[in-house]
C-alpha cells in the first residue's frame, strides 16, 4: 500500500500513491461542479507517475477554461474519476480526495476558481481564495 490509497465506488479500480500530496485545493470551476454534482471538488495534487491506478479505465479528454487539455481517467464500471492530468501542468496528477480510503487525512490549503463559485457553496473562510488558478509555486 502507498501513502495515499483509495478506490472507485464499485471497487474495480484501485489507486495507490507512494508519495505525499504536494498540496490540496477546493476547486470551484464549472468542470469540477459538473463532476461533483455540487459546488466544488477537493483536488489533491501529486507528482506525476507517483499515483498508480489498476482496473478498467475509460479516458475522457476535454478543453479546460484555460485552454489546456484535461485528461480524466474514470472507472469503466461505475464512472468514478480516478485520476486527472492537465497539459498545462505536465509534472503533476490530480486525485479527488473522496477517492481515498481516509479522505480526512487531506487538508486543503486554498480555494481556486472562485470566480465560478455558486452562492450556496461553502468553503472554509480562513483559506486563501483565488479567482482563477494561481501560478505554480
Is-contact 5 100, C-beta < 8 A?
A: yes
pLDDT for res 56: 97
pLDDT for res 112: 94
CA–CA distance, 135 with 24 (Å, rounded to integer): 15
CA–CA distance, 4 with 22 (Å, rounded to integer): 12
Per-residue pLDDT of the chain (137 residues; tens, 9 = 90+): 458 899 999 999 999 998 889 999 999 998 889 988 899 999 999 999 999 999 999 999 998 877 889 999 999 999 999 999 999 889 999 998 989 998 777 899 999 999 999 999 998 999 999 998 887 66
Is-contact 10 55, C-beta < 8 A?
A: no
CA–CA distance, 72 with 57 (Å, rounded to integer): 10
Domains of the chain: 4-22+31-107 (2.170.150.70)
**Which residues face 119 on adjacent strands?**
none
Amino acid at each position: 500500500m502507498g501513502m495515499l490509497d483509495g478506490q472507485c465506488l464499485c471497487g474495480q479500480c484501485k489507486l495507490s500513491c507512494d508519495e505525499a500530496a504536494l498540496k490540496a485545493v477546493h476547486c470551484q470551476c464549472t468542470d469540477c461542479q459538473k463532476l461533483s454534482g455540487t459546488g466544488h471538488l477537493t483536488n489533491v495534487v501529486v507528482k506525476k507517475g507517483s499515483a498508480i491506478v489498476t482496473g478498467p479505465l475509460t479516458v475522457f479528454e476535454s478543453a479546460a477554461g484555460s485552454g489546456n487539455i484535461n485528461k480524466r481517467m474514470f472507472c469503466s464500471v461505475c464512472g468514478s474519476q480516478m485520476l486527472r492530468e492537465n497539459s498545462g501542468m505536465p509534472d503533476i496528477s490530480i486525485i479527488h480526495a473522496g477517492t481515498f480510503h481516509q479522505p480526512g487525512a487531506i487538508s486543503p490549503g486554498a480555494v481556486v476558481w472562485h470566480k465560478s463559485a455558486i452562492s450556496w457553496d461553502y468553503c472554509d473562510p480562513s483559506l486563501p481564495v483565488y479567482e482563477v488558478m494561481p501560478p505554480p509555486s
